[in-house]
Chains A and B, each alone.
Chain A
């Protein structure tokens, strides 16, 4: 099976808890992060706990499902805008959970997926959306390192390298 996906949105936040800001283009620096983002600047909530958070991705398909009321969690109803989920890249048509350990292209850059993202209670409290933590369990996206940096823009193709 192969796939071919698309980059829908790029968001960064300048520091922990700051609202995400959408970019028309973003500069990815290999081994570091997205220029201007909290994990590039070392000002993120989890910056003091080393882990791979150079770039985080989430599937638009997950946001669609949440908007349609899936999963059904008592008391949980939410529509998560791309600037709310606090991941950097919103993708469509990319099987993120299949990519752990693999490389793939986003536009002219190459990312390597390190691990599945784990949702946090922090975002639930930050957005005031009880149930969001459970709603994102096992599908809150992917944390990646940047192997080859470059400039990316919404609309860029996302393509597999390691099948």
Chain B
């Protein structure tokens, strides 16, 4: 099981609307001056009413120990979490927020770093740019958005990052456009790329970076990858103790395990947060999460979304 994280009822100390229907929220602890530390790329779980949990990247400066900053884009076609936040949260509100977790950490090293952000995907990338600026390491940030009038966090980028490292590309300002494939065409030996953005952007960058060696291209998605659409089929989980849990086509492995009395923590139940991760001993998994690395797929399993063929043996 992935580590549980403490949930704190944090106080909203600032909430400002930014272009693109984005609400930037500062959070502080009501009693403690210092929050659990985070590194660039980290996200927190925000706990909403009715048990909903949403992940948001921390876009502030990791060296600011007493404050978390998140930027919430209102997704009117979403599952309702961002709309609730936009309608409800104001200065003085209390928001239950987990301690941060990082699936998208900067690798150590002195080589050049290429940071690519599409739209609201700027949030973890901005924290990375802040960290690299502070460490005086070479980086280039490319921020792709539709238009200047819909671009959040421009003021923070302008004031907090060295201008020479930042290029902003607006779809509707042709002179600012940049071909992503051209940006990734030539890789210097020790370069690393990090990217985050909406699905179309992720696909374009993923294709453009195919020739980069494994371990040099890093991304984070807050939406699970698209699937083949194959209907779910029943399978069987065998627990370490030998007990067998049937997972019907209509339920998830997580729900079946819980119904069988196996206590499992879970958060997003969408395959992106990693909270319900467990160790896999044998079997043929059908991984449908967006969190396990290629290497981890050989021995880990995310039961909220992933399935299997036949019998899957888990270390539970």
What chain B residues lie within 8 Å of A21 (beta carbons)?
9
Chain A 98-136 per-residue mask, 1 if CB under 8 angstroms from chain B, else 0: 000000000000000000000000100111100000000
Inter-subunit contact A18/B4 (CB<8 Å): no
What chain A residues lie within 8 Å of B8 (beta carbons)?
18-19
Inter-subunit contact A127/B6 (CB<8 Å): yes
Inter-subunit contact B263/A15 (CB<8 Å): no
A15 CA to B261 CA, complexed, in Å:
19
Main secondary structure of the interface of A (DSSP, over half): loop
Size range of the chain A interface in the assembly: 10 to 19
What chain B residues lie within 8 Å of A46 (beta carbons)?
263
Q: How far in angstroms is the closest Cβ of chain A from B63? A: 19
A126-B263 in contact given A18-B9, A19-B9 (Cβ < 8 Å) = no
A18-B96 in contact given A125-B3, A126-B4, A126-B5 (Cβ < 8 Å) = yes
Q: Among B4, B98, B263, which residue has its beta carbon within 8 angstroms of that of A49?
A: B263
Question: Is A48 part of the binding interface, using a Cβ–Cβ cutoff of 8 Å?
Answer: yes
Q: Which residue of B lies closest to A124 (CB)?
A: B3
What chain A residues lie within 8 Å of B4 (beta carbons)?
16-17, 45, 122, 125-126
How many pairs, one residue from A and one from B, have CB atoms within 8 Å of each other in the complex?
Answer: 36
What chain B residues lie within 8 Å of A122 (beta carbons)?
4
A126-B3 in contact given A19-B9, A49-B263 (Cβ < 8 Å) = yes
Inter-subunit contact A15/B7 (CB<8 Å): yes
Which B32-76 residues sit within 8 Å CB-CB of chain A? 36
Inter-subunit contact A48/B5 (CB<8 Å): no
Q: Which residue of B lies closest to A83 (CB)?
A: B31
What chain B residues lie within 8 Å of A19 (beta carbons)?
6-9
Q: How far in angstroms is the closest Cβ of chain A from B179? A: 44
Inter-subunit contact A48/B6 (CB<8 Å): no
Q: Which residue of A lies closest to B263 (CB)?
A: A48
B residues sitting closer than 8 Å to A (CB atoms) are 3-9, 36, 96, 98, 261, 263, 265
Instruction: List, sorted by A's number, 24 A–B pairs whose CB atoms are closer than 8 Å.
Output: A16-B4, A16-B265, A17-B4, A17-B5, A17-B6, A17-B7, A17-B98, A17-B265, A18-B6, A18-B7, A18-B96, A19-B6, A19-B7, A21-B9, A45-B263, A46-B263, A49-B261, A122-B4, A125-B3, A126-B3, A126-B4, A127-B6, A128-B3, A128-B36
